[in-house]
Amino acid sequence: MNHTRGELFDPLFGAGPNPGDSGVAAAVSDRAWVVALLEVEAALSRAASAAGLVAAEHATTVTAVASRLAEPGGLDIADLGRRSAAGGNPVIPLVKILRTTCAADGVPTSAVHVGATSQDVMDSALMLLSRRAGHHLLADLRAAANSAAELARLHRTTPMVARTLGQQALPTTFGALAVCWFTGLDDATAGLEHALSALPVQFGGAAGTLAAVHPHGLAIADTLADELGLARQVVPWHTTRTPVAALAAALGVVAGALSKPATDIVAMASTEFGELAEGAPGGSSAMPHKQNPVAAITARAAARRVPGLVSTILSSMDHEFARAAGAWHAEWETITDLLRLTGGAAHRLASSLGGLHVHTDTMARNLDLTGGLILAERVTGALAAHTDTARDIVSAAAASGHPLEQDPEITAHLTEGELHDLLNPSHYLGHAVDLVDRALAVRSTQTDRTLGGLE
């Protein structure tokens, strides 16, 4: 089983097992969970061996057995799930299976699950799983941001209407809008990268004191982290859930950053706007003419489910004393779903942006839709040099429906040539082009620094 929810909806939201879909689904599948749990147990035996608590040959055997069990068909995941119900987590029956299997090769039970409690293994596996899934997510985020940046570069001077509160406002460029897309995605990517790199190992023993492996507990914890490629813990964080909360918050920001361009694309692909179209639009079961921006739509759908899950994680931070009853358990599937949904949203948005068709002629048409009224601000500024009632004059002209260049109170002060220039949308773009160039230049510098190993 390589999917989390099912074969019907996972592909729709970019998280399915189909070739070309996001790799996040497989990275957070039931099997991926079991693999991570077994890897933590194997690494723990090796860490204990490094501290002299487990024979080296026994640690090697535990690692080999764990690898065999992690293979497809190595153990019955459905049966493991049923057996997990009795103790409230899958580590308890998994450790029993691992110890029994290792015993057949002469490994004592003391060489497995050394000094650990179930939460240590679950938390460390969750961190390992999240980091792996996060790398797939980051790849799609970067692809989406790169496509948006390329759109900004190609359309840095392409005029279009800037809309505020659902209304036409002033002229801008499509490149300037795309800047909003890729800078948000880049910021969210950086935040997620930081959260993933900070994910720590968890090793505290039965009550967070590492009593069972004293005086070797701190050394084992550090070696365990190194074996798994996780950050070293300062102290056990079994009831201090900031690492989990920070990850959830970063995923929430990612979902929000994905929603911005997806929302714009859906609106701009509407029949009335007609400014954008996806390269592979979806159809309708009833209406043959429909060309729905399904990639952006499903990216929005997946992202919309994320804030509630972030809230679940934040509201589950109140772990009582040395082990939470319920709050800890609530995190496992919630983080899994957060990764799956943000991964799916990123994948779908990357697909949308990567094949986006920009209809510049329609953008130009929409600029002329108001007959020049979107340049009323500019006309008012020019008219103010001649009369103190400039705003009133322009407001009255706009309300009357008269074209501004034909209103007698305006033409009394401004010449035909002046009005022609004032009402040219491409002459009132402000710093739109400069902002595109600046954002792309900064992005290029940051990319060069990253490739150079400075970040």
The model's pLDDT over 123-145, given as tens digits with 9 standing for 90+, comes to: 999 999 999 999 999 999 999 99
pTM: 0.91
Considering 284, 395, 426, 444, which one is annotated as catalytic?
284
| pLDDT level of residue 287 (50, 70, 90 thresholds) | very low
Considering 304, 305, 323, 391, which one is annotated as catalytic?
323
CB neighbours of residue 197 within 10 Å: 11
pLDDT value of position 436: 97
- Of 401 and 101, the one with more pLDDT: 101
Catalytic residue status for 284: yes
Catalytic residue status for 449: no
pLDDT exceeds cutoff 60 at 455: no
The model's pLDDT over 135-172, given as tens digits with 9 standing for 90+, comes to: 999 999 999 999 999 999 999 999 999 999 999 999 99
- Structural domains of the chain in order of their starting residue, each with its CATH number: 24-362 (1.20.200.10), 373-422 (no CATH)
Phi, psi of 168 (to 5 degrees): -65, 135
Let me know if 333 is exposed, middle or buried by CB neighbors in 10 A (0-12, 13-18, 19+). middle
pLDDT value of position 1: 38
The model's pLDDT over 239-276, given as tens digits with 9 standing for 90+, comes to: 999 999 999 999 999 999 999 999 999 999 999 999 99
Cα–Cα distance for residue pair 389/26, rounded to 1 Å = 66
258-276: b (≥16 Cβ within 10 Å) or e? bbbbbebbbbbbeeebebb
The model's pLDDT over 288-311, given as tens digits with 9 standing for 90+, comes to: 454 788 999 999 999 999 999 999
